[in-house]
Structure 1
Amino acid sequence: MTGQNPERTSPTILDENAESSYWRRQFDKEPYYTSGDRYDDFEAAYRAGFLGYDRYRGRSFEQAEPELRNEWERGKGETRLTWERAKQAAKAAWHRIENAMPGDADRDGR
């Protein structure tokens, strides 16, 4: 996927399938995971995070959080999670993409 955000300095090519596969394998190893959690409950949060990083390039996660929460609300489906739990997954996905990029695009020290 190539994003179309005019605020960006260069396009990012993100393999959404690869990110989804990664999180499907990884979610139960994350510190916010609790026994009985299902990937399906976290999927919309991961998508909001990894797609949002590109969409809101140049902003920190905290600055983009209201929009990310709205995106999660629209796509969350039947999840049992609250935003406070889902936010942890979105932030993890955001930082995974950020860490793959050169430099500190959102200037948060990561």
Structure 2
Amino acid sequence: MGGVAGGVAGGAAAGAAVGGMTGPVGAAVGAAVGAVAGALAGRAVKADPAEEDAYWRDNYTGRPYVESGSTYDDYAPAYRYGVDAYSRYPERRFDDVEPELSRDWGTARGRSSLEWERAKHATRDAWQRLSDKVERAIPGDSDRDGR
């Protein structure tokens, strides 16, 4: 099931369950509200690669892990990798998928000079940016980070 469709279905089910406590009308209203919220969450997972690339191109130099003399071209594959990984695994935490990402970095890195130990910080940053977008779209702990 796609991000929006899955979000709508999950949101509608949750809304209906909560609304069901107040009777049939409450269930219908809850399902409708939940469907809208779920759709927002589904859309938030679908990152715009061009938007993310522009964001990181403009902001990478201020990140604490970027070493002096490095270029955006060194970090761009790691940011793209984080965006792609979050889009594939939005229901998981970065720390849970990091071993898989580490294993596959050699293929994903393209021409990046970064080894995984340096690239993972940028990958996590891109992942967290998307996770935070979902969190803002759906209040609560939608990214299950305890915040």
Shorter-normalised TM range = 0.7 to 0.9
Indicate if the aligned counterparts of 1:44 and 1:75 stay in contact, CA closer than 8 A.
yes
Structure 2 unaligned segments of length 5 or more: list them.
Answer: 8-41
CA contact (8 A) 1:48 1:71 kept: no
Farther off after superposition, 71-80 or 17-26: 71-80
Matches within 5 A, 1:1-110: 4=2, 9-10=6-7, 11=42, 12-101=45-134, 102=138, 103-110=140-147
Query: RMSD of the TM alignment (CA)?
Result: 2.2
**Residues 98 and 104 of structure 1 are in contact (CA less than 8 Å); yes or no, is this contact kept in structure 2?**
no
Q: Identity of aligned pairs, percent?
A: 42
- 2:83/2:127 contact within 8 Å kept: yes
The farther-off stretch of 62-71 and 83-92 is 62-71
Contact in 1 for aligned 2:46/2:87 (Cα 8 Å): no
> Mind listing any 5+ residue stretches in structure 1 that lack a counterpart?
none
Identify the residue that residue 18 of structure 2 maps to in structure 1.
Answer: none
Shifted more, 45-54 versus 65-74: the winner is 65-74
> What SS does the corresponding residue of 2:92 show, helix, strand or coil?
coil
For the residue of structure 2 that corresponds to 1:58, the secondary structure is coil
Greater fraction of residues in helix: 2
Which TM-score applies when normalising by structure 2?
Answer: 0.63
Q: Aligned partners of 2:141 and 2:105: how far apart in 1?
A: 25
Higher RCO, 1 vs 2 (CA within 8 Å, ≥6 residues apart)? 1
2: CA distance, partners of 1:106 / 1:63? 13
Give 1:73 shift. Answer: 1.9
Task: Normalising by structure 1, report the TM-score.
Answer: 0.82
The aligned amino acid for 2:142 is A
Query: Which residue identity does 1:23 align to in structure 2?
Result: W
Letter of the aligned partner of 1:17 in structure 2?
A
Aligned residues: 106
